[in-house]
Amino acid sequence: MCGIIGCIGHDDETVDVLLNGLSNLEYRGYDSAGIALKQDGIDIRKREGELDELRRSVRRDSDSLAGSFGIGHTRWSTHGPPSDENSHPHSDSLGRVAVVHNGIIENYQAIRDELRSEGIPFTSDTDSEVVPHLIARNLEQGADAEEAVRAAVDRLEGSYALAVIVQGTDKIFATRSDSPLVLGIGDGACYLASDVPAFLDYTRDVVYLDDDEFVTLTEDDWSITDLNGDPVRKTVQTVDWTAEETGKSGYDHFMLKEIFEQPTSLRQCLSGRVDELDRRITVEELDDLGEPDVVQFVACGTSYHAALYGAELLRDAGINARAYLASEYATSPAPVSPETLVVGVTQSGETADTLSALREARNRGADTLALTNVVGSTAARECKHVLYIRAGPEIGVAATKTFSSQLVSLNLLVEHITGRAQVDQSREFLSALRDLPNDLQHVLDESNAREIVDEYADKDAYFFIGRGLNYPVALEGALKFKEITYEHAEGFAAGELKHGPLALVTENTPVFAVVTGDGEQARKTLGNIKEVEARGAPVIVVTDGESEAERYADHVLEIPSVHERTAPMLANVQLQLVSYYMAEQLSRAIDKPRNLAKSVTVE
């Protein structure tokens, strides 16, 4: 989780660059924040709480706080609660070394016990604090700064992205293993960060670092080597995001902005990939993808709900497909063969559980594909194939536009795998894809979600139900609701209510039912609606009107009547708006929900 920033080459502006970078990384963690600046020695400022607490501390010391380079950190707690002591950067006892860390050091306790036996004191509960103490001990034993850092890293087991400054050395050292780290190349300055938005105000030229690569930054140069010190050749890439795209653009929250960006993000996803006249879907990235006998999806959270949708589409097309929670798959993988395709669905491309599952699948001989939003991410680099969802930057912790872009991208993948795009794909479906951005815009313009939430605040719990392709949308609706409202919400396959959850249904448990089309699934869902109505529960239906579900509802969230495969995407937008407006009414921290972070880089 956590966010790392480092910069060198800004002289008097270093503090502002670090704080600005941390502000752009708060979606990765906001339990505490801190910076370390290289002056004659190393000056550290860190505070529990959100970044404003650190800003106030820095403002009080603005006359004395300066440095030609530095590092910073915004924390998502793993070891030890949020506190000033547990905040990063961490230092050795004499203040000669400062370190920021993202990840989990699995052997930290053994190292901590070893160092304590030598009389070295610890001031925090974190796993990260062992790193500066290891480096300091190596310095005392005669190593120079770079040797001391390398030797310390060699002792670590687990996941880490590290940035280090050492007294007496005008360099920043950094390395990574299973945690993201990217280098920014500016005009007379260089940057390090967990994610590109940290330095987009200064440069769009980046180098994506791979595991076990070691970076050295000076005021006028940068170099990358492997852990043995041998040079590594890297390509400088230019990202297509701008600093403006990662701002709020006048919206109260990133989440609302990103909900309303969905028509644009879907157009980006579809651009150049759908030709309605030729009845063809063309995804050039997948030209070398074979025809798998079995498809396994691995994903977490929102991406897992997208994976469920993709697996359902493939099964409907006659392909053996299943979605797995990545955290379960990594430790208990399903059988694979060379004809198995394992698809990692991950917005960031850095989700630790999903990366572990993909690596396990690859080691067992399966073909792998990353369906991700981030060019140059670890998943994109490690998988044999990659399909980008092209959603653009998403800053809000609760995923919105990336989910809808994942669903569209999965439709493209399904068409490619089944071959229908080149043979007998109906003009109706291609037309539906073409019209989807406009249909989604219509939902955004006409939604009455804001008015509905007034009646349903402060209830005991909230249930979301759906069948078929609407089942993943029900799960996602419940997840969004609980993430940002902090209210209890659960999603169910509609038919499962009567197998236990119905015991919880009362007049204080509103039920959101997703009902689209007029087929058997819609008719059976109407039966489930009547079951909860009989127990006094209020019902809110999200519907296209095809099944007359509105006759049985207390409130209706309307969507246009569209293709059965695109209807769930429109229903999802209505549920996103319900969650947002309910959280707004309850005065929740919508962009920074408690205990959560955007990119989950720990297992």
Of the candidates 295, 440, 439, 418, the residue with the CA atom closest to the CA atom of residue 426:
418
The answer to whether the CB of 388 falls within 8 A of the CB of 272 is no
Tokens of 512: 């959101």
> Which of 46, 171, 257, 598 is an active site residue?
598
Q: How far apart are CA 67 and CA 39, in angstroms?
A: 5
10 Å CB burial of residue 284 (0-12, 13-18, 19+) is: exposed
Decide if 38 is catalytic.
no
Rounded Cα gap, residues 50 and 29, in angstroms: 9
Following DSSP, what letter does each residue of 438-472 receive, concatenated? Answer: HHHHHHHHH--HHHHHHHHTT-S-EEEEE-TTHHH
CA-CA-CA-CA torsion sign (311, 294, 274, 204): positive
- Contact partners, residue 35, CB within 8 Å, separation at least 6: 15, 18, 19, 22, 44, 45, 46, 54, 58, 70, 71, 72, 73, 89
| Angle of helix 145-154 versus helix 130-140 axis, rounded to 10 | 130
Q: Which of 563, 535, 547, 549 is nearest to 463 (CA)?
A: 535
What tokens appear for 240 in the block? 């297509």
User: Which 3 state secondary structure label does DSSP give 112?
Assistant: helix
Residue 350: C-alpha distances to residues 241, 310, 390, 393, 396 (Å): 18, 21, 16, 14, 16
Q: Which of 399, 318, 390 is nearest to 351 (CA)?
A: 399
375-386 burial by CB neighbour count: b if 16+ within 10 A, else e?
Answer: bbbbbbebbebb
Query: Out of 2, 7, 190, 383, which one is annotated catalytic?
Result: 2
Distance CA 385, CA 369 (A): 4
- Residue 507's CB: how many other CB atoms inside 10 A? 11
Tokens (6 digits) for 35: 């910076």
Biggest CA–CA distance in the chain, Å, is 80
Dihedral over alpha carbons 405, 407, 411, 412 (to 10 degrees): 20
**Residue 513: which H helix or E strand, with range?**
strand 511-515
For 58-90, what is the HEC assignment?
HHHCCCCCCCCEEEEEEECCCCCCCCCCCCCCE
Sequence letter at residue 397: V
| Three-state helix/strand/coil letters over 411-437 | HHHHHHHHCCCCCCCCHHHHHHHHHHH
Contact 344, 306 (CB under 8 A): no
Active site residue 598: yes
- Following DSSP, what letter does each residue of 303-363 receive, concatenated? HHHHHHHHHHHHHHTT-EEEEEEHHHHHHSPPP--TTEEEEEEESSS--HHHHHHHHHHHH
Give the integer Cα–Cα distance in Å for 599 and 60: 32
Cite the active site residues.
2, 598
